[in-house]
Structure 1
Amino acid sequence: MDRLRWPIALATIAGLAAAVWAMHRVGFAGLLHAIDRMGWLGFLAFCAASLVLSLILGAAWWASMPGQPLKRLPLFAWARIAREGANDLLPFSQIGGLIVGARALTRLGLPGPRTYAAMVVDLTTEMASQVAVTLFGVAAIASILIDSQRHAVGPAAWVGVGLSIAMTGAFILLQRPLLKLADGLAQKMLPNAPIGFDRLHVELGSIYANKGAVALSFLLNLAGWLYAALLASMALSLIGEPIAFWRIVALESLIFALRGAAFVIPGAIGVQEAGYALLGPLVGLGPEAAVALSLIKRARDIAIGLPALLVWQALDVRRTPQSVR
């Protein structure tokens, strides 16, 4: 992280510049007007609905640790909220967010090696499910560009659906290559984890031997991506800019991909805003509404993530690990 300090700082400055450019491009007055139409009650409803997403993603992480009882699902949802809060609000890349999430669980008493291994499996299934959603998004955008007069899903988008289904089946069946991918992710992203890599490899092998658990994690992460698009649709409806859901899925899938590519920038600041400004019109969403959606999501991240990080810090300082049986 020390070596990344200056690159992250420079990338963050560039991201802030891109965010200002995107807001200036669409006009500050229009943005404020669009956001004002949501109102406080609408924003609170949006935040409440977003907590369901944390539960879905927490369930995906829980599924990645076979043997954990269902009553511990809230712990994983809480750790996921802390992880996302660190990703979105703290001045370091998503690697730091992963460590915060894992530490949130281990400080609650879950075994360290198993927790870190489950996190790597969850990250792998999340990436794979994102690929499936992005395939649909790219194909849907291609369908729109090929025939902008059509209002239904075109042939290219259905190709994306087929590829996504094929991707899902391949993921469930091809566990051994995914174990190698998980090993590589662990070595790259968790070099300073408080466990030996040999132990982590053993735990990863044990989890990947349970194909049902890995498949369930994948499907829950896939549901998470789709629910995130549903949240975006909800926000647009609240500001009076509804569009077809499949177009929202297409837009959000590409925004997710951009955020993933910009992982070194804290919260993908600027990348998200510029992405919405440039891609929104392709799916029939005005640039003002598109950037307003980005800012509403930023406000949601602060409203949920900041209190979560404060609670996590308090627990991390005061709580001593206890054995969970």
Structure 2
Amino acid sequence: MTRTAAVLLSLGAALFVALLAWQGAGAVAATLAAAGWGLALVAAFHLAPLVIDAAALAVLVESPATFVDALRARWAGESVNSLMPAGQIGGPVLMARHLAQRGTPMHDAAAAVTVSTTLQSVAQIAFALLGLTAFAAFSVAKSAQAAHALHVAALGASAVLAVAVGAFYHAQQRGLFGRFSRLFGKAFGARGAAQASARADAIDDAVRRLYRDRKRAAASFALSFVGWLAGIGEVWLALKFIGHPVSWLDALLLESVGQAIRGAAFAIPGSLGAQEGGYLLLAPLVGLTPDAALALSLAKRARELALGLPGIVYLHWSERDWRRRRTAGVPLAD
């Protein structure tokens, strides 16, 4: 973990603890405990958007990797992004490595993950704007001040995401991987630098090729958008089990704008503190009490643990098995 990531994680953890203390950790825990075994159903429901997101990746992945390989890679990558202090970089790197270990050429695997991640972020922005538009058109805000705060937060988070995604896309078109390779290539010596540059250029070419394949790119974007929509059900279920049911429109607002705020805080590992603050901001607009808003965030954290810890274990087992097979000279493609 870099020093910057450590500082951001510390700040996020401090904000997380402060918000719990401010609202009363006991009250939040009691609200969350009301869900009981319903939290297991919330975690199980998340398999739906996970499968859809895996499909969004699979349409970009070259054979011999299968949909099951893409699903496992997506599961492992999401687990790392949620639970490991690697920001939002560790997950995609491990996803590409996992697909490469299943037989997909590394340049194709890295390109598929890069394009899929970019299109998923674009879909997230569209999802946030959909939630904001729907809420403005069909709902009456509980308070003008809260409504103004919502617009500022949603548009601000969307703007941050849009700038980051736009810069990332622009860098990809200009040879992102090749530039980084040549920037740091001197550390590998002349021969190593040449090999690294060749591999990086191959990734850049594969990325551009995927963007030119409009049908596959559009399919990946559409599936990613459906995946974000599926997350509405997770929020609706969690609040129902917690004992604070909301309408589907309110669940759309909470998920779309809440995810945008979380996405804008991508530099903080797990968006710790940012997610909780976002739900507290949105709570007055949907009639939620502050303890229910924090309980919702903790329900999502519990789901991340329920699916993420097995994902980390699987990743460790998969990496160990791959190394063993490579050492033994066993064919690596499943």
Range class of TM-score, shorter chain: 0.7 to 0.9
Q: Provide the rounded CA distance (Å) in 1 between the counterparts of 2:10 and 2:93.
A: 24
Higher mean alpha-carbon deviation, 133-142 vs 233-242, is at: 133-142
Paired residue type of 2:81? N
CA deviation map 1:147-193 (0-9, x unaligned)? 549xxxxxxx9xx9xxxxxxxxxxxxxxxx99746436954998689
Structure with bigger gyration radius: 2
Residue 173 of structure 1 is matched in structure 2 by none
2:309 aligns with one of 306, 311, 319: 306
Q: Does 1:64 align with 2:60?
A: yes
Q: Provide the rounded CA distance (Å) in 1 between the counterparts of 2:179 and 2:72.
A: 22
Matches within 5 A, 1:151-190: 180=170, 182-183=172-173, 186-187=176-177
Matches within 5 A, 1:149-298: 180=170, 182-183=172-173, 186-187=176-177, 196-298=199-301
SS in 1 for 2:266: coil
Residue 73 of structure 1 is matched in structure 2 by 67
**Are the aligned partners of 1:118 and 1:204 in contact in 2 as well (CA < 8 Å)?**
yes
**Are the aligned partners of 2:79 and 2:307 in contact in 1 as well (CA < 8 Å)?**
yes
Gaps of 5+ in 2: 144-150, 155-166, 186-195
TM-fit CA distance, 1:254: 1.8
Residue 19 of structure 2 is matched in structure 1 by 22
SS in 1 for 2:46: helix
TM-fit CA distance, 1:201: 2.0
Q: Provide the rounded CA distance (Å) in 1 between the counterparts of 2:226 and 2:246.
A: 20
Residue 117 of structure 1 is matched in structure 2 by 111
Q: Provide the rounded CA distance (Å) in 2 between the counterparts of 1:268 and 1:179.
A: 22
TM-score normalized by structure 2?
0.79
Paired residue type of 2:317? A
Q: Does 1:93 align with 2:99?
A: no
Q: Provide the rounded CA distance (Å) in 1 between the counterparts of 2:175 and 2:117.
A: 9
- Relative distance call for 1:315 and 1:24 in structure 2 (3 A) is same
Aligned length: 297
Q: CA RMSD in A?
A: 3.2
Q: Provide the rounded CA distance (Å) in 2 between the counterparts of 1:200 and 1:127.
A: 20
Gaps of 5+ in 1: 150-156, 161-176
**Are the aligned partners of 2:131 and 2:253 in contact in 1 as well (CA < 8 Å)?**
yes
1:49 aligns with one of 45, 49, 54: 45
Higher mean alpha-carbon deviation, 77-86 vs 248-257, is at: 248-257
Q: Provide the rounded CA distance (Å) in 2 between the counterparts of 1:234 and 1:122.
A: 28
TM-score normalized by structure 1?
0.81
Higher mean alpha-carbon deviation, 292-301 vs 237-246, is at: 237-246
1:31 aligns with one of 6, 22, 28: 28
TM-fit CA distance, 1:35: 1.3
TM-fit CA distance, 1:144: 8.1
**Are the aligned partners of 2:78 and 2:308 in contact in 1 as well (CA < 8 Å)?**
yes
Q: Provide the rounded CA distance (Å) in 1 between the counterparts of 2:310 and 2:290.
A: 31
**Identical positions, percent:** 32
- Relative distance call for 1:59 and 1:190 in structure 2 (3 A) is farther
- Relative distance call for 1:25 and 1:132 in structure 2 (3 A) is same
Higher mean alpha-carbon deviation, 191-200 vs 270-279, is at: 191-200
Higher mean alpha-carbon deviation, 271-280 vs 115-124, is at: 271-280
TM-fit CA distance, 1:81: 1.0
**Are the aligned partners of 2:178 and 2:201 in contact in 1 as well (CA < 8 Å)?**
no
CA deviation map 1:237-296 (0-9, x unaligned)? 111211111222122222212222211211011111121122222232221111101101
**Are the aligned partners of 2:142 and 2:287 in contact in 1 as well (CA < 8 Å)?**
no
TM-fit CA distance, 1:303: 1.3
**Are the aligned partners of 2:141 and 2:285 in contact in 1 as well (CA < 8 Å)?**
no
**Are the aligned partners of 1:79 and 1:105 in contact in 2 as well (CA < 8 Å)?**
yes
